[in-house]
Amino acid sequence: MTQEGSLCAMILAHHSPALLARLVSRLDDFGVSCFVHVDAKEEVESFRRECASSDAVFIENRIALNWGGFSIVSATLNLIEAAREQSQATHFVLMSGDSYPVSTGADFVRFFLSSPSIIEAKLIPPHEKVFQRVARLYLPDSRIGSFRSGTEDPSIGRYITGDLVDRLAEISQVFDMKLCGFPWRLAKGSQWWCLTRTALDACLETIGHQRDYLAWFRYSSVPDESFFQTMFLNFVAEPFINRPPVFTVWSRVPRPYIFREIVDLRLLETCKTVLARKFSGAHLDVLDELDAVHASKHRGG
């Protein structure tokens, strides 16, 4: 594909306003429009203040995010709705607020605009253990199904609340539905992707036409790694590059590894994309060094 169109970044942020400000400022320099969802558990005004000098749009429809829950998919759908309506971009890249470009601006934009959609979608056969994430019924967006209890005593922290009681009839229906077996090919991959506008439209059409699709994943485990990926194996006709567009270091502890020191930038030597994570707001000197390296390359080019 030749480079045409424009790029929009859809950012899921949950910590470090200073790091988010650095990210959206860099993307502004690249001519990339930014739409931001801040975890509803966080106070959004601190993020707005830090990013005041940028053109980033903070969406109003925010959701409290739970790791492994459908809340992450819901927040992504809210970002998509805002970005599609307010941006004329041809490509939409989903990224975390702890991501950062690891290339010059020209290379960054060219990487995404010269490609079809980029999304990791690996087929998961029913006999694999991870298939149970969707085959079984989970309640990860509730206290009783929480993956993390925080500092609360887990012996008393996992209880049923009124909102869960109100959903019991729906949960029962989904349980019966899942007894019939998952009706599509399941795919799994990185949460982060870049989709063309036409691919994004096909995903939204799928949600509208496949009546049970939302229910299957709303009551699954870690659906952000399968919701859009499964669409590409079953409903999106256009070609795509089957790999994640974001570089992450999984070979070091903590996993994923956090770039804390300038020497950690050596890990990018194996990076084959233009976007990486995880960076830290407490170690912005790492980004200073990264920007300096690419500024030097730009002047040299």
SS (H, E, C) the chain: CCCCCCEEEEEEECCCHHHHHHHHHHHHHCCCEEEEEECCCCCHHHHHHHCCCCCCEECCCCCCCCCCCCHHHHHHHHHHHHHHHHCCCCEEEEEECCCEECCCHHHHHHHHHCCCEECCCEEECCCCHHHHHHHCCCCCCCCCCCCCCCCCCHHHHCCCCHHHHHCHHHHHHHHHHHCCCCCCCEEECCCCCEEEHHHHHHHHHHHHHCCCHHHHHHCCCCHHHCHHHHHHHHCCCCCEECCCCCEECCCCCCCCCCECCHHHHHHHHHCCCCEEECECCCCHHHHHHHHHHHHHHHHHC
pLDDT at 2: 46
pLDDT at 143: 85
Which phi and psi angles does 2 have, rounded to 5°? -85, 160
Confidence of residue 298 (pLDDT cuts 50, 70, 90): low
Give percent above pLDDT 70 in the chain: 96
Q: Packing angle between helix 17-29 and helix 284-300, nearest 10 degrees?
A: 10
Q: Is the pLDDT of residue 146 over 80?
A: no
pLDDT at 1: 42
- What would the mean pLDDT of 19-30 be, rounded to a whole number? 98
Q: What does the pLDDT look like over 159-172, one tens digit per residue?
A: 889 999 999 999 99
Tokens read off for 149: 């209890």
Q: What does the pLDDT look like over 246-275, one tens digit per residue?
A: 999 999 998 999 999 999 999 999 999 999
pLDDT at 299: 63
- CA–CA distance from 181 to each of 38, 136, 186, 203, 217 (Å)? 35, 9, 12, 22, 13
Residues 28 and 55: beta-carbon distance below 8 Å: yes
Which phi and psi angles does 240 have, rounded to 5°? -150, 160
Q: What does the pLDDT look like over 33-92, one tens digit per residue?
A: 999 999 999 999 999 999 999 999 999 999 999 999 999 999 999 999 999 999 999 999
pLDDT at 72: 98
pLDDT at 297: 72
pLDDT at 3: 61
Q: Is the pLDDT of residue 173 over 90?
A: yes
Domains defined along the chain, listed by start: 7-114+246-300 (3.40.50)
pLDDT at 183: 97
